[in-house]
Structure formats: structure tokens, C-alpha cells
């Protein structure tokens, strides 16, 4: 009997030039995913994923559909290779954007609808980011109380809020460009490490409210099905229904960002990767 499997879907920030290229070259099912995305979007997503430029890939209107499509392609490739048993999948979970991938894989909406939704989400968030210069900063080594204090002290009358509690000792703050600059300096002065993230704007902050309002209209037109498999929520960190989380974890393309966060929570948690053709081949050998 195959081990219970949990599928982890990366979010924005995991993108890298070249992602999905070897999957495209090695698996017909992955090629079909990228080629279908090109038809839906009417522009060549694969070319930007495989060849860049990095500056364009990092723009949220590109990176969101790019990560969604790359993740779906790696999932299909892993199924095709037999390293994931569809009947053994216990639940899906995704970081931010990755929850859209998780919901698609769980049957809540189809691939075309998913591509259109994440592309719209990216456009609306890009517009909000351009309208209000902003960013995000990873604060390492601080707890939630310390980060909340840092945000209050560094805001300087601008927006600066804790946005993502990724793992113990890693919290992301989000806000106006000036406030993020002050947060970098304040965090270092307090003895913490701080890193500015390669993102287009202050995601998960009040500066994204215009994007949220526009996205609501996009979501209102979609008919959602009930998930065929459990999906864990970003908001509650709990499944939409009860679940037993013992089993095997597999992270999809791109990268190993979620495995890194999980290790901060539980160093003994084994997480396989299906991000590349090579990693899928290694899983097949095991």
C-alpha cells in the first residue's frame, strides 16, 4: 500500500529562470501543460520561465501564472513517472499563490479557470504595486512580538505589517518602500537578520486592497466544486475538513522553498521533491 502523500505547492518568490524546462523536455504531459497555458494566455509563458529575463519573470503578473503552471506540470510529470500515487494523496497545501494550485489539483476548478484566475490575480496585484511603491522583507531570528514591535517602530506613518509567519524564526513584513527600508535597518540594529525579497510589491498588506477588490469580481464569476481531497487553508493553517497529517510530503516545482520552511518547524520531516526531471528520476529509483 502506497504511503499517504501530501502535495506542497510553492508560492511567489520561488520562481527562477529555467524552472520547468527539463520537465518540458522530459515529459509529454508537462509539455501539454505549458502548451495549453500558452493557448489560454495568448503569450509564451514557457519562454519566460525557461529563458527569462529574470526581471520579467519576477513581475507578479508573470510569476503567478508561471509558478502555477510549473507546479501543475511537475505534478503531472510525477504522476506519469509513477512517483506519486494519485490514490494515496491525502491532502494538498500551498503557500499563498500555491493555494490556487492546491485547489486546482483537488478538483475545485479546472486548469483553464486556474490559469485565468492566477493571471488576473497577478495583473491586479501588479497594478496595485505600481500604484504604491512597496516591498517585503524577511526577518530572521525574531518572534512575532518582536516583529510586531519592529513594524510599529519602523512604519514612520507609512504601511508596515507582519504579513507571513513562515516558520519559527522567519517572519515576512510587508509595506511601503520607505518603511521596508527602515525595517531592514531596524532589524539589523536589533540583532536580527533581514533580507529584502524579490517581489513587486507589499503583498498580504493593506496596500493590496485595490487588488483584492478587483479579484473579488473575478472569483464571483467562477463556480467552485467541492474538493475531492483535503486542502489546507493559508488563513487558518487547518484543513477545510478534519485530517490525519501522518505520511509522505512531496513539493512541486519550482525549487525547495517549502522544504526549507518545514525543516525549521520539524527537522525530522522528510519532504521529497518533484521539482525537476532529475528529482523525479531519483524518487523513481527509491
Residues annotated as part of the active site: 96, 204
Sign of the four-CA dihedral 283, 227, 109, 262: negative
CA distance 242 to 246: 13
Residue 5 main-chain phi, psi, to 5 deg: -120, 135
Pull the grid cell for residue 46.
Answer: 514557457
Contact 5, 85 (CB under 8 A): yes
Residue 175 main-chain phi, psi, to 5 deg: 175, -165
CA distance 86 to 2: 10
Contact 160, 127 (CB under 8 A): no
CA 164 from centre of chain: 12
CA distance 107 to 103: 6
Amino acid at each position: 500500500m502506497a504511503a499517504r502523500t501530501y502535495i506542497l505547492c510553492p508560492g511567489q518568490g520561488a520562481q527562477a529562470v529555467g524552472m520547468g524546462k527539463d520537465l518540458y523536455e522530459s515529459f509529454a504531459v508537462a509539455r501539454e501543460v505549458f502548451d495549453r497555458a500558452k493557448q489560454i494566455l495568448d503569450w509564451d509563458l514557457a519562454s519566460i520561465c525557461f529563458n527569462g529575463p529574470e526581471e520579467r519573470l519576477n513581475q507578479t503578473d508573470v510569476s503567478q501564472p508561471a509558478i502555477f503552471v510549473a507546479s501543475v506540470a511537475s505534478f503531472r510529470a510525477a504522476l506519469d513517472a509513477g512517483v506519486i500515487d494519485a490514490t494515496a494523496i491525502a491532502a494538498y497545501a500551498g503557500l499563498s499563490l500555491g493555494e490556487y494550485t492546491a485547489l486546482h489539483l483537488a478538483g475545485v476548478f479546472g486548469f483553464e479557470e486556474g490559469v485565468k484566475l492566477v493571471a488576473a490575480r497577478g495583473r491586479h496585484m501588479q497594478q496595485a504595486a505600481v500604484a504604491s511603491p512597496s516591498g517585503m522583507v524577511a526577518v530572521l531570528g525574531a518572534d512575532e512580538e518582536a516583529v510586531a514591535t519592529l513594524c510599529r517602530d519602523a512604519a514612520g506613518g507609512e504601511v508596515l505589517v507582519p504579513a507571513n509567519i513562515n516558520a519559527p524564526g522567519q517572519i515576512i513584513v510587508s509595506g511601503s518602500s520607505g518603511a521596508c527600508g527602515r525595517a531592514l535597518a531596524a532589524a539589523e540594529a536589533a540583532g536580527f537578520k533581514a533580507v529584502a525579497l524579490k517581489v513587486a510589491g507589499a503583498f498580504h498588506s493593506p496596500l493590496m486592497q485595490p487588488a483584492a477588490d478587483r479579484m473579488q469580481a473575478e472569483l464571483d464569476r467562477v463556480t467552485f466544486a467541492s474538493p475531492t481531497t483535503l486542502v489546507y487553508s493559508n488563513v487558518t493553517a487547518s484543513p477545510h475538513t478534519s485530517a490525519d497529517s501522518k505520511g509522505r510530503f512531496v513539493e512541486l516545482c519550482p525549487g525547495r522553498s517549502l522544504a526549507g520552511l518545514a525543516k525549521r518547524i520539524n527537522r525530522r520531516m522528510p519532504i521529497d521533491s518533484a521539482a525537476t526531471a532529475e528529482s523525479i528520476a531519483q524518487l523513481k529509483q527509491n
